[in-house]
Amino acid sequence: MSIVANDLSLHISGFDLLRNIDLTIEAGKVNVLVGPNGAGKSSLLRVLTGEIKPSKGDVLINQQPLNDWSMQDRANILAVLPQHSELNFPFTAAEVVGLGRIPHNTGFAKDQAIIAEALALVDASYLQRRLYTQMSGGEKQRVQLARVLAQIWQPSDLGEQFLVLDEPTAAFDLSHQQLTLSIVKQLADRGVGVLMVLHDLNLAARCADNLVVVNGGTIEASGTPEKVLTKELIHQVFDVQSVIAEHPVAKTPLVIT
């Protein structure tokens, strides 16, 4: 099963933000979107997750049109982490993560167990009783990550699940970047379809099963990192000269600029 975008276009106030995009996000795969600023990555995420209606084309989740899903059912199979959070109220970390359990009726004890496990997974157990408003940017982002993980913690009878992350590693130090990548890989192994925007091409190359390059509102290239990341493409899309080497251990492409 998958999220499928058919011929998506998005026009807003005279601008073509997306043009004729066909894309398949398969369950059990890590899909990474890269592209320059203003390429349409965030717009694409917002259309794929139903926040904006496309001007043309449609989106199917597990073969059913996005809008045919009831809001509650959709929340059971699709969790979305935006780039910035507006949360400005002094919830504790555990309470924030607990919000991810709203779509479920698993009961208090089960929810508490999931909250604790999700916080532990993102290396934030020590934050459990701390107030969100007093955390650093990286801590807040980890707590938010734990929230969306808690939302799809258990498999759903409604079908394969998907996790959409918009630049999840932006506020993270090196070790938490690595941690995030290992978490999304684990999720993919469990059958969750992951779609995330990353800016760091090397991070993208390390974890992507499917790397999608977005530029000017269209998909410039997609496929395995080995296939997609070429000198020519990077010059064409980012206007940067580079050398493509091979990661000595992981054997993934290494972009050196």
Partner 1 sequence: MGGHSEPSQIKSIIMDIRLPRLILALLVGAVLAILGAVMQGLFRNPLADPSLIGVSGGASVGTSIVIVAAGGAMLSPLAGLSMVALGAFIGGVITTLVVYRVATSSLGTSVTTMLLAGIAIGAIAGAFNSLLSYFSDNQMLRQISVWQMGNLGGANWQKASLMAALSLIIFSLLPSHAKSLNAFLLGESEARHLGIDVQRIKRQLIFLTALGVGFSVALAGLIGFVGLVIPHMVRLLIGPDHRALLPASALAGASLLLIADSIARVVVLPAELPTGILTALLGAPFFVMLLLKQRGEI
10 Å CB burial of residue 224 (0-12, 13-18, 19+) is middle
Stretch of 32-40, 98-106, 135-143, 209-217 contacting partner 1, by CB under 8 A? 98-106
| One of 11, 29, 55, 91 touching partner 1 (CB under 8 A) | 91
The Cα 8–Cα 22 span in angstroms is 7
The answer to whether 57 and 21 have CB atoms below 8 angstroms apart is: yes
- Determine if 40 is a binding residue for partner 1 (CB under 8 A): no
In the chain, the N- to C-terminal Cα span, in Å, equals 37
Residue 92 carries which DSSP code? B
Check binding of 159 to partner 1 (CB under 8 A).
Answer: no
Q: Does 99 bind partner 1 (CB under 8 A)?
A: yes
- Report the residue from 40, 54, 100, 253 that binds partner 1 according to the rule CB under 8 A: 100
> Looking at 6, 64, 85, 128, which residue binds partner 1 (CB under 8 A)?
85
Instruction: Quote the distance between the C-alpha of residue 225 and its chain's center.
Output: 17
Stretch that binds partner 1, among 3-11, 43-51, 229-237, 240-248 (CB under 8 A): 43-51
Beta strands 78-81 and 64-65: pairing type? unpaired
Size of the site for partner 1 (CB under 8 A): 29
Whole-number Å distance between alpha carbons of 30 and 210: 6
Instruction: Provide the mask over 57-76, with x wherever binding to partner 1 is found by CB under 8 A and - wherever it is not.
Output: --------------xxxxxx
- Cα 231 to chain center, whole Å? 26
**What is the dihedral sign for C-alpha 230, 1, 197, 9?**
positive
78 in contact with partner 1 (CB under 8 A): yes
Which residues, in sequence order, are CB contacts of 140 under 8 Å at separation 6+?
Answer: 85, 87, 132, 171
Q: Which of 35, 40, 54, 103 binds partner 1 (CB under 8 A)?
A: 103
Cβ proximity to partner 1: between 36 and 82 the closer is 82
Residues that bind partner 1 (CB under 8 A): 49-51, 71-76, 78-80, 82, 85-92, 95-96, 99-100, 102-103, 133, 151
